[in-house]
């Protein structure tokens, strides 16, 4: 029964679905009636998130154009189309500028920015056939207001995700809405080493991934039908500091 559910009948591709925010998004979307196409470098983890729910899962490396085309094609066929995409695959490599090898800088941009671009690019022909299609990219509070030593390449990748989201919102309107979500600290495997840093946040605690997933659901559903090009801070008030 999907009647009355917030994503009834929607077919949504979610990257990074094996862990953290992407996994929480997948679980919430499945519980709200969506069919999901779950993608991750960790194919076993993506399949475990899907369980017996409606949709499909596949392994993907979002930095590899061919891998993305193949995986998106597979899940699109299994779901019978794509109405929306959530880009949650990402990495955070830290290091002050001279301590970070050039390869690490490039890897960060490759996964967080180019990966987002390649997934949207592969989904676009499907989104163009859908009704009220949506794209939600997970950026970061560090992409809106960078303020931390050792995070310059991460902040650069996430600021670029905000910029791409806004540009595409203009390019793809009115058929496809494109927004980004900018979390502060979130209690996931990526955020775990930094949990003690949440003292600066107005709410004084890190987010649970389900709290980020709710904002992504809103941006992926008709409830946000007049919102495009937004960079939504879901950061417990970090932006005020």
194 in active site = no
Minimum CB–partner distance for residue 39 and ligand NAD (Å): 7
Minimum CB–partner distance for residue 9 and ligand NAD (Å): 26
Dihedrals phi, psi of 3, to nearest 5 degrees: -60, 135
Q: Which is nearer to ligand NAD, 22 or 37 (CB)?
A: 22
Residues 80-99 that bind ligand NAD (CB under 6 A): 88-92
- Cis omega (within 30 of 0) on the bond before 174? yes
**Counting contacts by CB under 6 A, is residue 113 touching ligand NAD?**
no
Minimum CB–partner distance for residue 223 and ligand NAD (Å): 22
Q: Which is nearer to ligand NAD, 79 or 89 (CB)?
A: 89
Cβ 145 vs Cβ 132: under 8 Å: no
Q: Which is nearer to ligand NAD, 55 or 115 (CB)?
A: 115
**Counting contacts by CB under 6 A, is residue 191 touching ligand NAD?**
yes
Q: Which is nearer to ligand NAD, 175 or 192 (CB)?
A: 192
Question: Interface with ligand NAD by CB under 6 A: which residues?
Answer: 15-16, 18-22, 40-42, 60-63, 88-92, 111, 115, 138, 140, 183, 185-186, 188-191
Residue numbers annotated as active site: 154
């Amino acid at each position: 029964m999907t009647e009355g559910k917030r994503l009834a009948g929607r077919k949504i591709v979610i990257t990074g679905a094996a862990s953290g925010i992407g996994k929480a998004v997948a679980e919430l979307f499945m519980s709200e009636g969506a069919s999901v196409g779950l993608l991750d470098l960790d194919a076993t983890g993506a399949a475990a998130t899907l369980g017996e729910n409606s949709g499909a899962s596949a392994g993907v490396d979002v930095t590899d154009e061919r891998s993305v085309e193949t995986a998106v094609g597979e899940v699109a066929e299994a779901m019978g189309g794509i109405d929306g995409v959530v880009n949650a695959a990402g990495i955070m490599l830290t290091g002050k500028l001279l301590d970070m090898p050039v390869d690490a800088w490039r890897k960060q941009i490759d996964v967080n920015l180019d990966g987002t671009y390649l997934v949207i690019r592969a989904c676009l022909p499907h989104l163009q056939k859908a009704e009220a299609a949506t794209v939600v990219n997970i950026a970061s509070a560090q992409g809106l207001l960078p303020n931390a030593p050792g995070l310059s390449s991460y902040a650069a990748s996430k600021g670029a995700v905000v910029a791409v989201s806004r540009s595409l919102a203009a390019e793809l309107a009115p058929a496809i809405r494109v927004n980004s979500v900018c979390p502060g600290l979130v209690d996931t495997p990526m955020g775990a080493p930094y949990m003690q840093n949440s003292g600066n946040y107005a709410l004084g605690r890190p987010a649970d991934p389900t709290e980020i997933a709710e904002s992504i659901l809103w941006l992926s559903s008709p409830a946000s039908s007049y919102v495009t090009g937004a960079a939504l801070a879901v950061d417990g008030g970090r932006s005020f500091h």
